[in-house]
Structure 1
Amino acid sequence: MADHPMTDDAVLHGALREKLVRAKEQWAREGRLLTGETSTPQAQRLPPGQRLVQDFPVLDLGVQPEVKPERWRLRVEGLVEEKVALDWDAFQSLPQQEWVNDIHCVTAWSRYDNRWKGVAARDILMLARPKPEARFVVFHSYDGYTTNVPLEVFAAEEAMVAHTWNGAPLDRVHGGPARIVIPRYYFWKSAKWVTRIELLAEDRPGFWEVRGYHNNADPWLEERYA
């Protein structure tokens, strides 16, 4: 696969795997992996249809941006009182939080007890001060990927922009130097290689949401597909 520049800040390694995207669209049409069961986090730790893994599988669209920390930028824009533009040093100077939580991938694997370090979403939102009409968030990644959540989901406890996983800087293959982590929902909502957070009044489905995946993505309700 070829390496080619995307912007002055990132280099893209690889190319979009169209065949993979089409296959996952077919999964959505067929309802692959659905068990028809539902539960709650209080009733069972492992959501319906999931299996535990010990490793950390790598899933992406075939493109892995390489962004050196000194070139990384995070912007918070849209319906905010104060636009935010953070470089790596400014990001690291914000209050740092650590959480241990589980992650659940829509492809049916789950991994327990992941230790993340980064900046709480609430602290980032506090800098930007969302306008009253802001109700949704779209995450934009260096590879062009997008995904959407309600603002209240991003503002929830344990939602964060993480730079460290299990005591080490986040690898590029897992979204380094920084990614979104929203552990309560299927992990495609936790955008890798995040560079822009956009606040909106109306919902705007992202890459997988317009390709048949569920807009909410609650693992205990098995919201894999629309």
Structure 2
Amino acid sequence: MSLFGKKPAAEVEKRPDGLDRLPPGQYLTKKWPILSYERTPSGLPSDWKLKISGLVEQPFELTWEEFLALPHTTFTSDFHCVTSWSRYDNTWEGIHIREILQRAKPLPNAHFVMAHSWTGYTTNMPLKDLDDDDVMIVLKHDGQPLEADHGGPVRLLVPKLYAYKSAKWLDGLEFLEKDRPGFWEQRGYHNHADPWKEERFW
């Protein structure tokens, strides 16, 4: 360990792709800070449905009970916030995104996705970033039901991008031909949000 607490280069953890595990400009925390522009909802709306719309062969809606009946999966990933904190080794449980994509069948001209929350929040991303091995719709974190302040009972998880792309209080995915900025993207946050490129702002 160096005088200022930074690890020597040889000790810096690497990802399988060779990049540093901790993205540039980030610091590690064992806590999970609570950051939201919106007020935390009081609970799941009684009429909640997951709405899959836009450029798909099979648009559909799922009630909460139908959504919970989908196959569940568990995996562990790091999580990075645009405000500079990172948290390692989060264990998530929920529905893998491909359970949704296999049912929806995005059309060839679907290149982007807008995630919608029942609070009105939106965030956009390329379909290729959504359709990936590490993306899921989360119900539990570290073995416990996802707390409301962290987006519970249901949020999107796209851990390779800054956390504002992992929409809290999820209730819809809209498939688009052309990109359309979401809530924070309209307010100056980066449209793509890759932590290893420090894509924090436009």
Matched with 2:195 is: 219
1:22-171 to 2 correspondences below 5 Å: 42-68=18-44, 71-171=47-147
Cα displacement string for residues 113-144 of structure 1 (whole angstroms, at most 9, x for unaligned residues):
10000111111011111111111000111111
**TM-score of the aligned structures, taking structure 1 as reference length:** 0.80
Q: Percent identity?
A: 48
Cα displacement string for residues 132-182 of structure 1 (whole angstroms, at most 9, x for unaligned residues):
111100011111111000001101111010111110111110001100000
* Distance in 1 (alpha carbons) for counterparts of 2:165 and 2:145: 21
Q: Unaligned stretches of 5+ in structure 1?
A: 1-38
* Distance in 2 (alpha carbons) for counterparts of 1:69 and 1:96: 22
CA contact (8 A) 1:69 1:88 kept: no
> Considering only aligned residues, what root-mean-square deviation do their CA atoms show, in Å?
1.5
Matched with 1:193 is: 169
Cα displacement string for residues 79-124 of structure 1 (whole angstroms, at most 9, x for unaligned residues):
1111121112111111111110000000000000100001111110
* Distance in 2 (alpha carbons) for counterparts of 1:182 and 1:116: 11
Q: Say yes or no: does 1:173 pair with 2:175.
A: no
Aligned to 1:82, what secondary structure does the other structure show?
Answer: coil
Paired residues, number: 188
* Distance in 1 (alpha carbons) for counterparts of 2:146 and 2:95: 14
**Partner letter of residue 104 of structure 1?**
H
More helix by share: 1
CA contact (8 A) 1:70 1:88 kept: no
Cα displacement string for residues 45-82 of structure 1 (whole angstroms, at most 9, x for unaligned residues):
10000001111111111311233376432111011111
Is 186-195 or 82-91 further displaced after alignment? 82-91
* Distance in 1 (alpha carbons) for counterparts of 2:186 and 2:30: 31
Is 104-113 or 75-84 further displaced after alignment? 75-84
**TM-score of the aligned structures, taking structure 2 as reference length:** 0.89
Q: Unaligned stretches of 5+ in structure 2?
A: 1-13
